[in-house]
Structure 1
Amino acid sequence: MNHRVLCGILLAGCLSACNLFESREQRTQKLVDAEIQTINFNEVDQFPLFDDCQETEDKTVQRRCFEETLLMHLSMTLQNFEFRSQASLKDTLHIDFKVDAQGVISITSVEQHPAIVEANPEFERIVTGSLRSLPRLQPALKRGIPVATRFRLPLVLQTDE
C-alpha cells in the first residue's frame, strides 16, 4: 500500500509540474504576450522632432515644439499667400498630418471650407507644397523603434475685406 501512495504522490507531482516540460519558445511567447498587453499603442514614447526640438524634454514639450514649428512654418508660407474672400473671414481649419516611420510628413486631409475653396482653389496645394521646405524631421519613437503618427492641427485664417 505504501507503494501505491508513493506512486500517487509522484504522479500528482508530475502533473502539477507541467510547466517544467514547457519549451523555452512557449515560455518566451508567454512573456512576449504579457508584455504586449502592457503596451499602449495609442501613445508614443517620443514625438516627431525637428532639429530645434530637444529629445531630452518630456513628451508634452516635444509635442508643443513639433506643433509650434509646423504651425510657424505654415504661417510663414501662407503669409505671402493672398486669400480672396467675398466677405471678411475669420475661421479655423483643421489639417490632418501623417509623419511616417522615416520622418516624411504629408497631409492626409484639409478641412474644406466652401468660401475658401471657392475663392482660393489653390489653397490646399499651397499648404501641401509648403511641406517640401520644412526642416529635417525625426520620426516618433515607440520603445526605440520609429513609428508613424498622425496629428490634427488648427490653422486660423483671417482676412480683411
Structure 2
Amino acid sequence: MRKFIVFLFLSNLFFTSCQLFDKKVPNEKELLDKQLKEINWKEVDELPSVSDCEKISDENARKQCFFDFLTATIEQKLAIDTLRTLYPQLDTIEVKVTVFPDSKISFEPQFPQDSVAYDTIRIDSILRARLIDFPKISPAIKRGIPVKTQFILPVIIKQE
C-alpha cells in the first residue's frame, strides 16, 4: 500500500510538473523590442571624459570637470587668435561638440538666425584651424558600448 501511495505521489508530481514547461516562450524579436523600449536613449550610462577627470568618483563632479576642461581648452586655443580683433562685438560663441565612439571629436560653431553681422564661414574656419591637436577624450558609454554624444558649450572669446 505504501508503494502505491508513493507511486501516486510521484506520478502526480511528474504530471503536474510538466505544466511548468508548457509555458509559451517569447521569441527573440519580442524580447528585443521589449528591451529597446525600456532603454532611455536620451541619457548615457557614462559621459565622455578626459584622463584628468577619470579619478573623480562623484558623477556630477566628473561631469563638471569634463565641461570645465573642454571650455578652458577651447578658450585657451582661441585666445591667441584674431577673432577678438576681427569681431570685437563677439564675446561668446556657442560651439556644438561631437564626441564620436572612436574618440574623434568635432567642433561646429552655432550662430543665431540673425547672424548676418558675422562672417560665419570665416569664424568656422578659424575655429576648425585652432581646435586641431585636441587632447584625447574617452567617448560616452551606453550599456558597455561607446556611443556618439553631442552638446553645446558657450565659449567666451573676450574677457575684460
State the TM-score, normalized to the length of structure 1. 0.69
Q: What corresponds to 2:49 in structure 1? A: 49
For the residues of structure 1 that align with 2:131 and 2:124, how far apart are their CA atoms? 11
SS of equivalent to 1:46: coil
**Cα gap change, 1:154 to 1:51, in 2 (>3 Å):** same
| Identity value in percent | 26
**Cα gap change, 1:58 to 1:29, in 2 (>3 Å):** farther
**Cα gap change, 1:114 to 1:101, in 2 (>3 Å):** same
For the residues of structure 2 that align with 1:90 and 1:125, how far apart are their CA atoms? 16
Aligned CA RMSD, in angstroms, stands at 2.9
**Cα gap change, 1:111 to 1:55, in 2 (>3 Å):** farther
Q: What corresponds to 2:125 in structure 1? A: 125
Q: What corresponds to 1:101 in structure 2? A: 101
Q: What corresponds to 2:85 in structure 1? A: 84
Q: Structure 1: any 5+ residue segments left out of the alignment?
A: 1-16
**Which protein has the bigger strand share?**
1
For the pair 1:66 / 2:66, whether they are aligned, the reply is: yes
Structure 1 residue 158 displacement after superposition: 2.5
- Contact 1:105 / 1:131 at 8 angstroms: preserved in 2? no
For the residues of structure 2 that align with 1:95 and 1:153, how far apart are their CA atoms? 5
Structure 1 residue 146 displacement after superposition: 0.3
Q: Structure 2: any 5+ residue segments left out of the alignment?
A: 1-18
Structure 1 residue 102 displacement after superposition: 0.8
State the TM-score, normalized to the length of structure 2. 0.70
Deviations 1:17-68 (A, max 9, x none): 7x83635x61x54443333222110001111111111165343223222211
Paired letter, 2:66: F
**Cα gap change, 1:150 to 1:94, in 2 (>3 Å):** same
**Cα gap change, 1:148 to 1:136, in 2 (>3 Å):** same
Paired letter, 2:72: M
For the residues of structure 1 that align with 2:29 and 2:55, how far apart are their CA atoms? 33
